[in-house]
Amino acid sequence: MTGRSPQILRSDALDNRERILDAARALFAAEGLDVPMREIARRAGVGPATLYRRFPTKQLLVTEVFTDEMRACHAIVDEGRAEPDPWRGFRLVIEKICELHARNRGFTDAFMSAHPKEVDLTASREQMLNVIAELARRAKKTGHLRADFVLDDLVLMLMAHRGIRAASAAARLTASRRFAALMIQAFQA
């Protein structure tokens, strides 16, 4: 009987961890990173002590929650870099990153380092921005990207994109696609 207790507790602990991560994903996606830890615990059906035992800081929780999104973002940037036409690759990156951000407000906050004390995705973000900068240099050489484009222009536009608010996820996605199209038009030579 004592040999089984740790296994049952371990299973319960894993269940609690998954419920916490699921609740955090849903709340961060809908509301951004300002969601209080107590609300995450409540939504997960666990006590605050259980939440803090699994994730002692909000930074650890956010990093765990956004691991998959960071992988998706890296895949988008790699896909853009692999595109034989650099301008098409650059446009693809803008469209897909905007869509990713529209689907998950918390990821936008994390990606843009809106909460630097709570989120440490800086190294990953910098790596992606360096790849995008290289893609932009290649797109400029084709004559399709404005000669005066600088990477800060894209960062500024992504910050503006973060401000999209809509009554539903579908409306937010529609607005995001429109914004991405306008962004691409503004960057085109």
| CATH number reported for the structural domain that contains residue 58 in this entry | 1.10.10.60
Residue 120 pLDDT:
55
Residue keyed to tokens 């936008």 = 108
Tell me if 17 sits within 8 A of 54, measured CB to CB. yes
CA distances, 59 to each of 33, 39, 49 (Å): 10, 16, 16
Q: What is the mean pLDDT of residues 57-72?
A: 83
Q: What is the mean pLDDT of residues 45-50?
A: 92
Average pLDDT, the chain: 85
Q: What is the mean pLDDT of residues 27-47?
A: 90
Both 143 and 107 in one domain: the answer is yes
Out of 17-31, 58-72, 87-101, least confident range: 58-72
Q: Is the pLDDT of residue 118 over 50?
A: no
Both 107 and 177 in one domain: the answer is yes
Q: What is the DSSP letter of 125?
A: H
Tell me if 118 sits within 8 A of 62, measured CB to CB. yes
The two three-digit tokens of residue 98, written as one number: 């905007």
Domain count across the chain:
2
Q: What is the mean pLDDT of residues 28-35?
A: 83
pTM: 0.75
Please report, rounded to a whole number, the percentage of residues in the chain having pLDDT higher than 70. 87
Nearest alpha carbon to residue 119 among 71, 172, 64, 159: 64
Instruction: Tell me the C-alpha distance between 75 and 81, whole Å.
Output: 10
Q: Is the pLDDT of residue 1 over 50?
A: no
Q: Which domain holds residue 104?
A: 67-187
- Planar angle of CA 150, 151, 157, nearest 5 degrees: 105
Both 19 and 78 in one domain: the answer is no
